Homo-oligomer: A and B are copies of this chain.
Amino acid sequence: MTSPSPNGQPVLEPLRVAMLGCGVVGSEVVRLLTDQASDLQARVGRPLELVGIAVRRLNRTRPGIDPSLFTTDAEALVRRPDVDLVVEVIGGIEPARSLILSALGNGASVVTANKALLAEDGVTLFAAAEKAGVDLYFEASVAGAIPIIRPLRESLVGDEVTSVIGIVNGTTNFILDKMDTDGAGFAETLAEAQALGYAEADPTADVDGFDAAAKAAILSSLAFHSRVTSADVYREGITEVTSTDISSARAMGCVVKLLAICQLSPADPDHPERERTVSVRVHPAMIPRSHPLASVGGAYNAVFIESQFAGRLMFYGPGAGGAPTASAVLGDLVTVARNRLRGAAGPGESSYAARPVSPIGNVITRYHLSLEVADVAGVLATIAQCFAEHGVSIQTVRQQGREADAQLVIVTHRASDAALSATVEALRGLDVVRDVTSVMRVEGE
């Protein structure tokens, strides 16, 4: 592994790194690999040498990076026999999946930030890593620089995690936070976020909750030792959130957040044979201002974990951005490099518990509803009757006159999503109800 140098000191053979992608995150990874080279060498025990960067187009200028490193032939790069470690920061399903599988098949360890791919087809990747006896690490895939994968895979592995609730999408948190501060509506706040670079030109992945849903799938797979994919995640985005919802939340001492909620159903002591299930959902929700997640502002992320023995933990930090994500990638890169030198691999997929995912209808939580109703005597009685018939108990009602009509704001006690949905459908059929203008879950109490 060593060869003599001209001055007689042994030269350490480097571990060779191939990069796939060189966008915002990739270029920061290159900068870290260069700036911190001597520290990384000391921490790994060998130099990390970047031997190639696969990009789509060669003609883009990338200042500070040796142009001879770039190639458009990603497949050839990951198949190079001298490559030890592959960093994938392209994103998306293909060609990322094929390239990662080629790299693993070639015996390289892989570090990826690709939440969409892991949430859609992690099982194929984990199986390939297991077969090759190499590592697949993915700390950067959820909540940027915040260590959350490693705590779930390792720190809490002796405990029983019962709930993971996260603010895992910075764009939507920025928008909701702005709406709360400025009292503005969704559309104008989105436009502002786009102008400031906090939201993409096509904001669908963020505002419709796809990004958060992928992260929820990854978190719940790890937390509950089960396989959960994006398709298992119930998903609502923030496009329907109105400034009225936000001011109504405020009146209740709450804020509106887009939450990724992963929960394990409690064991039934009377029926220990009953299978415990996992529920995974992403939707806007009202949470009390006193909840630790309520004060997570701007583009920050946070993940709140409850476990049987450790109790309540929270992890907080920058959830996106080139440098923070690169920090997470490099932490993984050093770890898999060390594992490689020791001839060992870190923890693989743990899905032994194989908990089934229960449908959204089974979720039990509280609800906040806004209704436009006719301002006539007896309307509240009619509406209360409708809730009672569906087994949904009302906690508070606030009524405010509005010319001929009135607005009712109703907060329920805990009820199943199925019961609530049936209630809303029935309410829409009542003559006195002009419209059900908003339904939002209330969490964190």
Contact = CB atoms under 8 A, between A and B. Distances in A.
A442 to B, nearest CB: 22
A344 B334 contact: no
A225 B316 contact: no
Contacts of A309: 28, 32, 145, 323-324, 326-327, 330
B147 A155 contact: yes
A317 B312 contact: yes
A327 B345 CA distance: 24
Output the residue of A147, A335, A338, A347 with the most chain B CB within 10 A. Answer: A147
Nearest to A347: B338
A389 interface: no
A334 B155 CA distance: 9
Contact of A327 (B159, B314, B333): B159
Contacts of A353: 39, 42
Interface in A318-372: 318, 321, 323-324, 326-335, 338-339, 342-345, 347, 350, 352-353
Contacts of A339: 344
A352 B311 contact: no
A151 interface: yes
Given A312-B318, A313-B316, A327 B42 contact: no
A11 interface: no
A333 B157 CA distance: 9
Interface string A271-314: 00000000000000000000010010000000000011111111
Give the contact-size bracket for chain A: 35 or more
A18 interface: no
Contacts of A313: 145-147, 315-318
Contacts of A323: 308-311
A202 to B, nearest CB: 27
Given A147-B147, A151-B150, A158-B36, A310 B324 contact: yes
A56 interface: no
Contact of A331 (B154, B295, B324, B344): B154
A328 B155 CA distance: 6
B147 A32 contact: no
A139 interface: yes
Contacts of A155: 139, 147, 150, 328, 331
A1 to B, nearest CB: 17
Interface of A: 28, 32, 36, 39-40, 42-43, 139, 144-147, 150-151, 154-160, 225, 292, 295, 307-318, 321, 323-324, 326-335, 338-339, 342-345, 347, 350, 352-353
7 contacts: A42-B350, A147-B147, A150-B154, A155-B331, A157-B331, A311-B317, A311-B323
Given A43-B157, A307-B327, 7 more contacts: A39-B225, A42-B225, A150-B151, A154-B335, A158-B333, A310-B318, A311-B323
